[in-house]
Structure 1
Amino acid sequence: MTAEMWTAVSGGAVGVASAVVTAWGARAARRTRRDHRRDDFTAVTDRMEKEITRQGQRIDELEADSEQQRTRVAGQDFTIRYLTAWVRSLYGHIRATGAEPPSPPQPVPDDVRPYLHDIGV
């Protein structure tokens, strides 16, 4: 190999190396490791924000359902107290006339007994 050939080959190698270094430098100048981390952080915080918003909406729905249930239970409580008072007055009226009130159509459940303690069942 002649000196001109070595010069040409080394010039080609230097050109390829320069192209690789230039490409790597351009990429490094465009996106740093910190940029990638910041983008990851942004993506994670965006997902967290969406999830927090979804959870907040779910909590609002559950609170609305809870309020409806409280209203329904309060109405049922009032109805049960009204019916219990009405049955007690009927029992009292039947006993006042000297008759014996009829027995319940079925055995009274144990869960109900504490609330019907004063009507003699």
Structure 2
Amino acid sequence: MYRPTILADMPNHAKAMTHEPFGPLALVQPVDEIDQALARANALSYGLAGYAFTGSAATVNRIAEELAVGTIGINQMVVTIPETPFGGIGDSGWGREGGIEGLEAYTVKKYVGHLQI
């Protein structure tokens, strides 16, 4: 079992910063401006979830539009419940689980046109 761990101010080339870590690991990198934050976050091919903390409504909107992840938590760490879809983009997976979007993967849609003769 691993204990929850926070890694702060890691160099950009560190393995934890270039791969998709799982487990109780939080990577913290303070930034000076939103452009820098988005560039760092979108630099990798992974995009399962992202988190940001801000008091600016304009920054919230920009992160929501530009952060390349499947799920975003802004000013919160809980970003999914059973009724909502969860899944990543890029190398973080395909499809969604949860919500109606998760059920769609198990359905087959078929159209049958029938003309009475």
Report TM bin, short chain: under 0.3
Q: TM-score, normalised by structure 1?
A: 0.22
Q: Identify the structure with bigger relative contact order (alpha carbons < 8 Å, sequence gap 6+).
A: 2
Q: TM-score, normalised by structure 2?
A: 0.22
Whichever structure has more strand as a proportion of its residues is: 2
